[in-house]
Structure 1
Amino acid sequence: MTTGCRSWPRWRHPRERWFRRAARKVRPGRAAIRPRRRWVPGPRRASEVNDDLFIPSLDIRGARLMGYYAAFLDVGGQRCLVVGGGEPALAKARGLLESGARVTIVWDRLIPEFRTLEVALVERRFEEADLEGCVLAIDASGDEATGVRVSQAARERGVLVNVLDRPALCTFIAPALVRRGPLQVAISTSGRSPFLAAHLRRLVERWLGPEWGSMVELTGRLRDRLRQQGVSLSEQTTQYGRALGSPALGLLRAGRVAAAEAAINRSDGHVALIGAGPGDPALLTVRAVGLLSRADLVLYDALVDAAALAWCRPDAELVCVGKRGGRTSAQQGSIEAHMIAAAQTGRFVVRLKGGDPFVFGRGGEEVLALVAAGITIEVVPGVSAATAAPALAGIPLTHRGLAASFAVTTARRADGGVHDFRDLAGADTLVVMMPVQALQQVSAQLIAAGRPPTCPVALVEGASTSRQRVVRGRLDDIGRRVGQRAVEGPALLVVGAVVNALAEVTASDQSMQDGIPRRAHAGGHPQLRVDGAQVRVDGAPADHELGSNLWSGQAARHQDEHLDLSWRQATNRNPS
């Protein structure tokens, strides 16, 4: 089955309600404000968009919200003027030269680097006659009066003009640009924040490596060939998708251009087995995001956050194959058969699994099935909940003087029986996955295996998500405490002295021992910030201090069962 979305009437979406008053009455001459639905890039097929990905935007009619039309100029062989003689002017001159322009530099003091460029140098101050025959002028002199003169003279002659850091004097603004051969990505803040534009450019540069320029060339050749053969547009689109999902990018990154072109031109399918992390899409690895964005077919677990699927291609097929205890679930054999059949038809398949695929995720079984069928497979590790959940709850699995080892296991064996834990008696810290349905039995078995009844334990539910809760107690009473709080899972149990290792910065001893919510004295323990969440009991943090899940648009309120009740009441009254 595919993921579903909820269709909201225009004025009933909860995040559009605040637009109502502004939209009801608009005085003459005032900008009209209308709500408009805009969705984060992601699954866009009819029933595949999660309504948590809604972002409200303003359509201000009559107001200059942006004011710039994005375009790329062909300045090849055209004369362009740069006014200035320092580093800013040098950068502009180099950019124009890369675009094939004939560049003239005018200023009375030039840094030596200009003499290494193929440009015309005029060593004096700007004169209006310098604009004759120019199609574009840039003032990077930093001189205020010169900037005004260049702007006025250029406007009078119909020459496009840009004065650095002075948008009011410009008829165009230059974006932060990322160049990868024929691929160019422009980033603009409409002149509001060049610093942020430069920061975003650096991020894009890290994401778009040099291989993308070669990828554009190869897919361009594929496009030319398909058009010459008269292939239909729908089939062309399919071929482009297969090219994107092929191993070509990796081969180009390794410098194997011929192999990359061969990979684009053939239709060998392959599978990527990817760990989605503990829940928060922000914890996806960079490699996971890159592969998700190129996949034809994504088979995802029930525990994968729908916001993680926003990285998928708009035309990707998304199929939920999640298995949840006590519910109708896809059979492991059918999942493996689905992957094999899709890959054999040339599709790029991503199997997206919660946590790490090789930590109680049956990833090894899937690898064996795929290899036996002759399918090429890549494994991408994920952040396992076994280590992430304790960390997000402020519990170190190892701590000097308390724990030098830890073990991870599941509550039940493969045959369905509860683990007896005797083989794990030597581990200082024990992490038990999926314990909720058998928690009383797990506690009894741990005590029988030698753990003291008073051993500190913590059950972490919904780690890294907006549902995160931590229920603390002792081994002999954790079952009762969890039963009182209707914990559903996913959850895991942490057993050992490390549960209280950070008690001084997370909660008072009393609240840690007996679970009684209480307010600590003013000026209490220092704060411990874990992934944007406040893990403490000494006073209620302001709402803005809590980490927000930017991917799903929900507040990431990591609630601990021992936090002050007034904090919970405040956050319940003020959802973000």
Structure 2
Amino acid sequence: MHGVAAFGSAHLRGHTVIVCGRAGAARRAVARYRSAGADVLTAVVPSELALLGPSLRRASLVVGVDDGDPGWDVLPAVAREQRTLLLTEEPAAEHGHVTLVGGGPGEADLLTVAGRRALAAADVVYYDRLGPGRVVADLAPGAELIDVGKTPGHHKVPQETIQAMMVESALAGHAVVRLKGGDPFVFGRGGEEVAACLAAEVPVTTIPGISSSVAVPGTVGIPVTHRGVSKMFTVASGHVPFSDDELEHLAGLGGTLVILMGVGTLAQTIAGLRRHGMDPATPAAVVERGYSAEQRSTVARLDKLALAAAEAKCASPAVIVIGDVVAVGNDWKHLTAEFGGAARSLEDVHA
């Protein structure tokens, strides 16, 4: 168990905490308790306990880090004698490594249990603009937090620099977490970061995350697949305009088309899809800022979507969904009347 969480980090200011364990093994515990406001004293070897004297008697908490030294077996007796709460913690990693963590679509409670564990054990966290960045300080108490997030058209830290920083931190012996929105391997450049670690012989693991390509449409009742409607979905990046060949293939795939980072190229995408034969009455939607208090969706038939998105001033981050599944989660008859023209009813979609 992590002692800060167990003891209550909001109440540690003004308290003395004694962390027992070899310096390297205890570094995460020391950082966490100091970040929570505690006055942290350390005993690196069991014989140093006697040197703490009065400090041990006034300590609110003793933390034993399991560094393999059998001398720490005295801690339960010491804690009972001093009437002090004793907590035990796992040691910090002995060797540097990198963990890529998928943060999901934004809400902290959508982060996986494995992702939370990796953050709690991190020495350094490199985090993005998307994902649970707002609460990363709570998820990784005591870790060094480095914002390397990108915004459309602005990469304040180039990707190559991010990779070099991660490798350098790991080679210095730190437990490094690269926290990304969604899933690391869905337009997250996770493959490049893994390759950089492997090239530097840095151990690297990946913890998957919930991709916004599936989760965000689901928040407004749009399933990317639906029995009798769509048996496949394609996820594409609209950050760079599609080529004419790509648009031809996308128009002919069928099923559901999900486009990430595509608001800026939406008009061109729609024009290309229609040019290559996609039905102008195809249901479509733009879902902005998924899983936030500002989430909003704009729904129209394909040939009206660019205008509807422009009038609504749709902006990134957003997920674009094109396909008959959009009608599954919306009152399509009402929407087609509002945006003009006849379109397939939900009954027609299921036919």
Does the alignment reach a TM-score above 0.5?
Answer: yes
Q: Which residue of 1 aligns with 2:324?
A: 497
CA distance in 2 between counterparts of 1:226 and 1:376 reads 35
- In structure 2, the partner of 1:421 is 247
Structure 1 pair 476/266, CA: closer, same or farther in 2 (3 Å)? closer
| Pairing 1:37-436 to 2, within 5 Å after superposition | 223-225=44-46, 227=48, 264=91, 267-413=94-240, 418=243, 420-424=246-250, 425-436=252-263
| C-alpha distance 328-360 of structure 1, shift in aligned 2 (>3 A) | closer
How far did residue 514 of structure 1 move? 2.4
Which amino acid counterpart does residue 333 of structure 2 have in structure 1? Answer: D
Give CA-to-partner distance per residue, 1:505-551, whole Å, 9 cap, x none: xx3621355259xxxxxxxxxxxxxxxxxxxxxxxxxxxxxxxxxxx
Structure with the greater alpha carbon radius of gyration: 1
1:528-567 matched pairs, under 5 angstroms = none
For the Cα contact (< 8 Å) 1:271–1:339, is it kept in 2?
Answer: yes
Shift of 1:291: 1.1
If the length of structure 1 is used for normalisation, what is the TM-score? 0.43
One-letter identity of the residue aligned with 2:247:
F
Q: Do the aligned partners of 2:93 and 2:175 also contact (CA within 8 Å) in 1?
A: no
What CA distance in whole angstroms lies between the structure 1 residues aligned with 2:216 and 2:298?
12
Q: Which amino acid aligns with 1:289?
A: R
Contact 2:233–2:257 (Cα < 8 Å) also in 1: yes
Matches of 1:355 and 1:471, distance apart in 2: 22
Aligned length: 270
The question of whether the paired residues in 1 share the 8 Å contact of 2:120 and 2:141 is answered with no
**1:249 aligns to what?**
none
Work out the CA distance in 1 between the residues paired with 2:328 and 2:336. Answer: 11
Whole-Å Cα distance in 2 between the matches of residues 351 and 463 of structure 1? 22
CA separation of 1:422/1:287 partners in 2, compared to 1, >3 Å: closer, same or farther? same
**SS in structure 1 of the partner of residue 235 of structure 2:** strand
Matched residues in 2 for 1:399 and 1:314: separation? Answer: 42
Q: Pairwise CA RMSD of aligned residues?
A: 3.2
The equivalent of 2:310 in structure 1 is 483
Q: What is the Cα deviation at residue 397 of structure 1?
A: 1.0
Instruction: Quote the sequence identity (%).
Output: 36
**Given the superposition, is the C-alpha separation of residues 289 and 421 from structure 1 closer, same or farther in structure 2, using an over 3 Å criterion?**
same
Please report how far the alpha carbon of residue 389 of structure 1 lies from its aligned counterpart in structure 2 after TM superposition.
Answer: 1.0
For normalisation by structure 2, the TM-score amounts to 0.69
Change (3 A) 1:450 1:289: same
Return the offset for 1:302.
Answer: 1.1
Q: Contact 2:300/2:335 (CA < 8 Å) preserved in 1?
A: no
3-state secondary structure, aligned to 1:352 = strand
Task: Tell me what 1:439 maps to.
Answer: 266
| Secondary structure of 1:476 counterpart | helix
Structure 2: unaligned runs, 5 residues or longer: 1-7, 13-41, 52-62, 68-89, 341-351
Distance 2:47 2:93 in 1: 13
1:511 is aligned to 2:332: no
In structure 2, what residue type is equivalent to 1:474? Answer: R
User: Relative contact order: is structure 1 or structure 2 higher (C-alpha 8 Å, sep ≥ 6)?
Assistant: 2
1:438–1:508 distance in 2 versus 1, CA, 3 Å = closer
Residues 154-213 of structure 1: CA deviation (Å, up to 9, x unaligned): xxxxxxxxxxxxxxxxxxxxxxxxxxxxxxxxxxxxxxxxxxxxxxxxxxxxxxxxxxxx
Q: Return the offset for 1:485.
A: 1.4
| Structure 1 residues 270-290: Cα deviation after superposition (integer angstroms, max 9, x where no partner) | 111001111111111111111
Any stretches of 5+ residues in structure 1 without a counterpart?
A: 1-39, 45-220, 231-240, 247-262, 517-576
Q: Structure 1 residues 265, 475: closer, same or farther in 2, change over 3 A?
A: closer
